[in-house]
Amino acid sequence: MATQFKTPADVRAQVSDAEWKLREDLACAYRLVAHHGWDDLIFTHLSVRIPGPEHHFLINPYNLMFDEITASSLVKIDVHGTPVMETPYLTNPAGFTIHSAIHMAREDAHAVIHLHTPYGQAVAAQAEGLMPITQTAMLIRDEVAYHHYEGVATDLDERERLVADLGGKTAMILRNHGTLTVGETIGEAFLKIYFLERACEAQVHALSGGAARLNHPPQGTPEKAADQGRDGLKLVGNMLAWPALMRKMDRLSPGYRE
């Protein structure tokens, strides 16, 4: 890893086995986001809640690129975004505003992924939002909530409205801003963001030929696909796709486990 910062060598010795596994998973997710070209320089965040009564979380160092992040370099923070463990890295408490709101409001939201991709932002700027014009979109569309843009998310008052808009859903399009997913595991949240981002990308390409030329699916099939995706994505994400994705990163970018 080419970086001028040096992570304390004893991070592994200071944390539980459960936390270290989460660190590996989250670092892998950051590398995967970079691999897919979804990173936005050092901006946006992926976070995970650490088991225990302390309500601590892991998040990226604010001054590292996503393909530099390792299990040891992830920063452990409290609900205010303040580090609770020695770290040589910078943190961005304001960037945790969205994540902290969801983590604290939803017991099942162990992992939160938020992106600013061009395709996600393009659909977030379209009045109709995500359209049921591809299988990928139909599988996840029923789980997608919407939140209107209120400026850069530094206003703590926005958290209440964000949580209300998300409700019990597991994905969100932040209008004029980007995409977000939550999951009980990092693998689950990652697979959902993958489907959401792919659906947005396909929609932008499909609309390049004009909305009038779209082929819409038969009546009832979007609802059928949504039912299939609701449980299917969770199962596939946790048991099949995530282990395979970690093996892929072990081949392409094994330093994430350091």
CA distance 207 to 115: 22
Q: Which domain holds residue 246?
A: 11-257
Q: Evaluate whether residue 2 is within a structural domain.
A: no
User: For the segment 104-152, what is each residue's pLDDT rounded down to a tens digit?
Assistant: 899 999 999 999 999 999 999 999 999 999 999 999 999 999 999 988 8
- Helix (H) or strand (E) holding 76, with range, is strand 75-77
Q: Where are the alpha helices (DSSP H) in 113-220?
A: 118-124, 135-141, 158-166, 186-207
Token digits for 197?
Answer: 């981002």
pLDDT in tens, the chain (258 residues): 444 455 556 899 899 999 999 999 999 999 999 999 999 998 899 999 999 888 899 999 998 999 999 999 999 999 888 899 888 888 887 778 889 899 989 999 999 999 999 999 999 999 999 999 999 999 999 999 999 998 886 677 888 999 999 999 999 999 999 999 999 999 999 999 999 999 999 999 999 989 888 989 889 888 887 777 777 777 777 778 999 999 999 999 999 999
Give me the sign of the Cα torsion angle 154, 155, 156, 161.
negative
Q: Evaluate whether residue 4 is within a structural domain.
A: no
CATH of the domain at 90: 3.40.225.10
Q: Evaluate whether residue 1 is within a structural domain.
A: no
- Spatial strand order of the sheet with 45-49 comes to 75-77, 57-59, 45-49, 111-115, 178-183, 171-174, 144-147
Q: Evaluate whether residue 245 is within a structural domain.
A: yes
Q: Could you please report the per-residue DSSP string of 205-243?
A: HHHTT-GGGPPPPPTTHHHHHHHHHHHHHHHHIIIIIHH
Rounded to the nearest 10°, the torsion over CA 91, 94, 95, 99 is: 110
Q: Evaluate whether residue 3 is within a structural domain.
A: no
Q: Evaluate whether residue 5 is within a structural domain.
A: no
Q: Tell me how many domains the chain contains.
A: 1
Q: What is the pTM (predicted TM-score) of this model?
A: 0.92
- Helix (H) or strand (E) holding 245, with range, is helix 242-252
